[in-house]
């Protein structure tokens, strides 16, 4: 029989409804008395292993022996490798608590499960296709009212907010139009309109290395760990960070109930990836800036917040520490864009971003294909848009690869001084009338 104090310990982990509370409330680690620069914090964690292992071991087990009161009983409810990752993430996300799940969409699902029928969600009109798909499902099947508005305009967002607003879901920069959203301004407005509204920010494009939404007034920061945090496209993960521990408990309840907590091996792999986040991101950003300048100098319309020509340059730099490594540009023709995408050799045709390898894609055909074409048109998502997700390769090789692709695809006109983007008939500003050539 278990000792009385073990039973008392176990009981103290149950809430009033008898829900199992998290095995580890995730304090930050390490606690050094002072905070190091993020690049240092990313690398160092107190493993605290009984055998002094230098890296956190993989607790590849479903169950743990013992009775009530012990920290771990079953990996769906908690696992030491996952807890260590969560502690490490809480530290680098400036969060009181972090939780990790099996994908970025899994994180979005956990967060939006706190909504009830009749609740209102205010969100953007340029969102990752999967997020749009989940919200549409909830609207059509869960009785949730979803308002898609232009979140770049604070007044438009304010007009959509009311005391019925239960959640505001933001992305910044947005995928793939690279629009910048005022996190602090919208968080304040949302809480004024509805004090209990949860402002959740998808931080996938930036990672905690470049942007910390909780510091700007958001209630939840989440991201696809599949991208920059892991950096190698060898795992799927989703990460959630909160300061409000009661909200963290609600999310943990969902994770334990639905069983989407990140598996021990993937937790270990993600921990490994996070250590190199700073060096990868610095190199990827520098490469992206050079490519953005190269494309702009040759006459392409480029969307990248590192360029002064970005209409929300000042807003972006008021809330982020870097421009990231995703840019998009337009050609004026779907067929031309297809030829460019098919002509690169180093930029691989693939969805996703954040990997050490450079990638090229056409969002309307790939990552955002789940958005109905009519809706894409309504939201002014150009069908010809090309997204570049820049990796850590040598910049001269990348520029050379892109130059050759632009020439091979016929996207540029050769001049005695080099080349310039070819004018495509039918172009009408940002919402292009895309003309397909024969």
Ligand X SMILES: N[C@@H](CCSC[C@H](N)C(=O)O)C(=O)O
Ligand Y SMILES: Cc1ncc(COP(=O)(O)O)c(C=O)c1O
Contact string (CB under 6 A) for ligand X, positions 162-181, x = contact: -------------x------
Q: Report the C-alpha gap between 378 and 125 in whole angstroms.
A: 9
Helix, strand or coil for residue 100? strand
What is the CA angle 383-384-388, rounded to 5?
Answer: 115
Question: Quick one: DSSP state of residue 321?
Answer: S
**Binder among 29, 45, 77, 226 for ligand Y (CB under 6 A):** 226
CA distances from 210 to 172, 174, 321 (A): 12, 15, 5
Q: If binding is defined by CB under 6 A, does position 136 make contact with ligand X?
A: no
Helix axis angle for 277-297 and 395-409, nearest 10°, is 40
Residues 322, 47: Cα–Cα separation, whole Å: 30
Task: Answer yes or no: 345 catalytic.
Answer: no
- Tell the smallest beta-carbon distance from residue 227 to ligand Y (Å): 7
Give the residue, chosen from 23, 130, 231, 273, that forms a contact with ligand X under the rule CB under 6 A: 130
To ligand X, the closest distance from the beta carbon of 386 in angstroms equals 13
Fill in the per-residue mask, 130 to 169: x = in contact with ligand Y (CB under 6 A), - = not in contact: xx--------------------------------------
Residues 6+ positions from 260 with CB-CB distance below 8 Å:
101, 102, 106, 109, 110
Give me the torsion for CA of 218, 219, 225, 228, rounded to 10°. 20
Query: Which among 91, 179, 227, 250 is annotated as catalytic?
Result: 227
Q: Is 370 in the site for ligand X (CB under 6 A)?
A: yes
Question: Known catalytic residue: 227?
Answer: yes
Q: Which residues pair with 387 in a beta bridge?
A: 328, 361
Nearest C-alpha neighbor of 303 from the set 208, 410, 211, 382? 382
Site string for ligand Y, 236-265 (x = CB under 6 A): x-x---------------------------
Residue 322, interface with ligand Y (CB under 6 A)? no
202 is catalytic: yes
**Residue 171 binding ligand Y, by CB under 6 A:** yes
Catalytic residue among 126, 202, 266, 401: 202
Active site residue 387: no
Residues annotated as catalytic are: 76, 128, 202, 227
- Which residues here bind ligand Y, judged by CB under 6 A? 103-105, 128, 130-131, 171, 175, 202, 204, 224, 226, 236, 238
């Amino acid at each position: 029989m278990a000792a009385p104090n073990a039973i008392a310990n176990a009981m103290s982990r149950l809430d009033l409804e008898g829900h199992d509370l998290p095995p580890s409330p995730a304090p930050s680690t390490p606690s050094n008395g002072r905070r190091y620069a993020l690049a240092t914090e990313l690398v160092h964690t107190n493993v605290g292993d009984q055998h002094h292992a230098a890296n956190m071991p993989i607790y590849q087990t479903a169950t743990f022996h013992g009775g009530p009161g012990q920290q771990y009983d079953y990996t769906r409810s908690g696992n030491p490798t996952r807890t260590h990752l969560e502690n490490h993430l809480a530290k680098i996300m400036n969060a009181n608590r972090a939780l990790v799940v099996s994908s970025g969409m899994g994180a979005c699902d956990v967060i939006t499960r706190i909504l009830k029928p009749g609740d209102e969600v205010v969100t953007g009109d340029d969102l990752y296709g999967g997020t749009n798909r989940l919200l549409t499902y909830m609207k059509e099947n869960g009785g949730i009212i979803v308002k898609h508005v232009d979140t770049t305009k604070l007044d438009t967002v304010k007009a959509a907010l009311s005391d019925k607003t239960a959640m505001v879901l933001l992305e910044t920069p947005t995928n793939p139009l690279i629009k910048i959203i005022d996190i602090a301004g919208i968080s304040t407005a949302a809480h004024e309109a509805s004090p209990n509204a949860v402002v959740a920010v998808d931080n996938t494009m930036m990672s905690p290395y470049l942007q910390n939404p909780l510091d700007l007034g958001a209630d939840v920061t989440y991201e696809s760990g599949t991208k920059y945090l892991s950096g190698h496209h060898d795992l799927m993960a989703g990460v959630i960070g909160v300061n409000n521990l009661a909200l963290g408990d609600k999310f943990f309840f969902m994770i334990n109930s639905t069983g989407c907590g990140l598996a021990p091996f993937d937790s270990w792999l993600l921990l490994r990836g996070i250590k190199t986040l700073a060096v990868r991101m610095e190199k990827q950003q520098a490469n992206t800036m050079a490519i953005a300048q190269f494309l702009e100098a040759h006459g392409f319309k480029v969307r990248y917040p590192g360029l002064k020509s970005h209409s929300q340059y000042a807003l972006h730099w008021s809330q982020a520490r870097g421009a990231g490594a995703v840019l998009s540009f337009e050609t004026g023709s779907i067929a031309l864009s297809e030829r460019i995408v098919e002509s690169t050799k180093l930029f691989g045709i693939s969805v996703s971003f954040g990997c050490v390898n450079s990638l090229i894609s056409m969002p309307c055909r790939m990552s955002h294909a789940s958005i109905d074409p009519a809706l894409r048109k309504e939201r002014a998502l150009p069908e010809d848009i090309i997204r570049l997700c820049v990796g850590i390769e040598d910049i001269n090789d990348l520029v050379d690869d892109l130059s050759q692709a632009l020439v091979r695809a016929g996207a540029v006109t050769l001049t005695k001084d080099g080349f310039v983007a070819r004018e495509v008939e039918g172009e009408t500003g940002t919402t292009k009338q895309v003309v397909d050539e024969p």
